[in-house]
Chains A and B, each alone.
Chain A
C-alpha cells in the first residue's frame, strides 16, 4: 500500500500549507524615517469631540503614520503627550441619542485635574501637535510657559514643553533630531476667527507676512537640521460641518396669525425684514443694518455653536436677532476665503522652495464633500452621518484621521519613491452611535 501512504502523506502535508501573498517589502525610498516628529495644531494632536483626550491621541494621524513608518525604518517608541484619561480639559462632548433625526450632544463630564499637570519629565514626545497653535506659535519662545499668566500661554503645550521658559514647539522638535517631520499648520490662523463668528480680537486673521515668515522659519530650521518632511495645507471652512450644518432658513412658520404678528413687529417690511409661509431666514444682528438687525442672506453661514433651542425658547432669529458671533456674514466670509487662498499659496511656495511635498487637504476635503466610499464605508462632510468629522464638526473621527494619514502616505510615497504601507481605515472607529 505504498501509494496509500504517499497520498496520506501528501494530504497531511497539504493541510499544513497556507497560501502566502507575494508582494514587495515596504521601502523608505529616498526618505529616512528613523526619527519622525509631527508638528501642527489640534488636528495633529488627535483632538476630537471638542477636546484632547487619551483615546483620541492614540488615534491621531501622527500615531498612525509612526506605526506605518515602523515598516520603513522608524525606530523607538513614538511617545505622545497622552492625557491621563478620556475627560481631557473638560470640553469634550458625547453623543447620547437621536430625537427626530437630530443628534443629542451633551458635555462628556468634568476634567480630571491630572490632565493639566506637566508630563515633560516623562518625555521626550514626538507628537508636537498643540491644540490652538497658529503659524507664529511654532517658533514662539515661552508659548508653553504658565508663568506668562492665564491667556498668555498654551496649556496644552505647557503639559510637555521641555523647558517652559525657553522652549518653543520648534526648539523642542529640533532637540529630537528628527530625520522626518510632518507639518500641518495654519488652520487656526483663519479658523479661530471663523469659529468665533468673525469677531476678531485675539483671534483675528493672521497677517500674510507673519504667516509666511513663521512657516518659512519653521521649515528652513527643520531643513537645516537635516530633516526631510511633508506638509499639508488648509481646508476651506466651507468643507467643515461646523459651518454648513445649520441652515440659514431654519424657521418653519405656516401659522398666518404668527406670520402677521412677526411682520407687523418689523413694520411690515419697513426694515426689509419679512416672513412668509414656509422656511424663513434668521434675523441676525448687524450693526451696519437699520436698527442693528437684518435677515441673513442665503450665502451667509450659521455656525454649529448656535444654541438651536434658543431659536424656540428665546425667539432668536424671529423676535430677537441672532448674535453676530454665531454668524459669518458676507464680508467675514470674503476675508476668510482670501486668507485661506493666500495662506495656501504661501504654503505651496515654501514647500516648493524647500523641496517638501505638499498634501492638498483643501482639495481632498472638497472631493469628500461629494462623498467617497472606502471599503464599504461611506464618507462625506455632513455632520454625524458623514462619518469623517467628530462631534465638534471641525476635528475628525479616528476614521477621518486614518484617511488623512493615507493622504500623507500617498504624498510621501510619490515624492520620495517610497512604499510606506497605507493605513487600514476600517481598523479605526468612526462616529459611535448611542
Chain B
C-alpha cells in the first residue's frame, strides 16, 4: 500500500505540466470545465475545496472524493511581421493538469477537505532553431499545490471556508544565445525547484433554495528560484565570460485570483450560472535573472513583462437529463494579461475565447464518471517584445478533453 501511494504521488508530479491564459490553468473539475469553468457558487462535490472553500459546507453527503485529469494539447503558431513567409509552430508536449479532492463532514457544520491540483503551469516547446530562439526555445513551469481546507456552515444560507496552500514548483528553461560557434548558437539552460505557501478563502451565500452566490480569494504564489543551475554552452573563446557552474536566482509571481459567481436553478433539472474571475497578473512586472557570477558579457537580466490584471467572464449551465446523465455546456472570454509591447513567445497568451461541454454518467448510485471537452482559441494578433525587437503574429489553439470520477459516500 505504501509503495502504491508513493508511485501514485510520483506519477502525479510527473504529470503536472500544463498551459493556458497567462501561465494560469483552470482545469480543476470536469463538471466545472463542462460549464465554462464556473464553480465559485456551486457545491457539486469536493472540488469546492479549490473553487470556494465556503461552498464545501453546503455538500449534503458525508464524504466526497473526486479526481481527474485533462490531457491538454496546445498549439501556437508564429509568423514574422508582414511581409514575411517565415512561420514557426510549437511542438508542445501534452500537458496533464490533474486534481484530487477529498472532503468529509466532521460535524453537520464543519467539513474538512484536501485539494491537490495544478493551478499554474506552462509547457512550451518551440523548434531549437526557430527565429525566436534568442527569446525562448522551451519552457516548462510546473506548479502543484496541496491545500488542507476547513469549511464551516454558519447557518442555512451562509458558509465560510479557508485553506492553507503549499505549492511546489519546478522550472526548466532553455534559450539560445546570439553567440555563434562552430557548433551553432550558444545556449543557456536554467533548471530549479522551489516551494512557497499561500491561502484560499471563500464565502457562499444561498439566499433561496434556487439561488446561490459565492466569492473566493486565492492569494498569489511567489515562486522564487534560489541557486537554480544556469548552464551556459558557448564557444571556447568566450568561455571566460560565461563561467561554468553558475547559478541564478529568479522570481516568478503567480497571480492572485478574486472570483465571484452566481447560479440559479431554473427548475429541478436546469441550472445556469456565471462567474467573474479577476486575475491579478499585475504582480508580474518583470522577469529578473540574477546570476551568482556576473561578467561584462553576463549582466543580470531584468526583462519587463508588465502584465495587467484581467477579468475573465464565464457563463455555463447544466441539465439533469435523468438520474444517470447530466449534460453541461459553457463559454468564457479570457483577455490576455500580457502587455502588447512586452509580449514574449515564452508565454504566448492571447485574448482567448473558449467553449466547453461536458457530461456526467452515473453507472451506479453515488458514483459519477465526468467527461468534459474544452476548446480555447487565442485570437490572432501582431505583438512585439520591444527590448529585443522581436515581433510577429501569433495564434493559439487548445484542445482539452478531460475525464474524472466523483464519488460520494
Contact = CB atoms under 8 A, between A and B. Distances in A.
B245 interface: no
Nearest to A387: B178
A247 interface: no
A429 B389 CA distance: 19
B276 interface: no
Contact of B86 (A98, A424, A432): A424
A375 interface: yes
Interface stretch (A10-18, A195-203, A273-281, A328-336): A10-18
Interface in B229-252: 234-238
Nearest to B237: A98
Interface in A401-434: 409, 413, 419-422, 424, 426-427, 429-434
Contact of A4 (B77, B359, B375): B359
A413 B83 contact: yes
B84 A17 contact: no
A272 interface: no
Nearest to A1: B361
Nearest to B390: A375
Given A373-B387, A426-B133, A434-B237, A11 B397 contact: no
Contacts of A98: 237-238
Contact of A19 (B80, B84, B396): B396
Contacts of B323: none
B355 to A, nearest CB: 11
Interface residues of A, number: 44
Contacts of A266: none
Interface string B71-84: 00101110110111
Contact of B178 (A3, A24, A71, A377): A377
B339 to A, nearest CB: 18
Nearest to A420: B83
Contacts of A420: 83
Interface string A17-29: 1111111101000
B182 A432 contact: yes
Nearest to B136: A376
Contacts of A226: none
Interface string B345-365: 000000000000101010000
Contact of A433 (B79, B134, B237, B377): B237
A271 B62 CA distance: 105
Interface in B101-134: 131-134
A94 to B, nearest CB: 11
Among A1, A21, A420: residue with most chain B CB under 10 A? A21
B315 interface: no
A426 B133 CA distance: 9
Given A7-B359, A19-B397, 4 more contacts: A10-B373, A413-B83, A419-B82, A424-B131
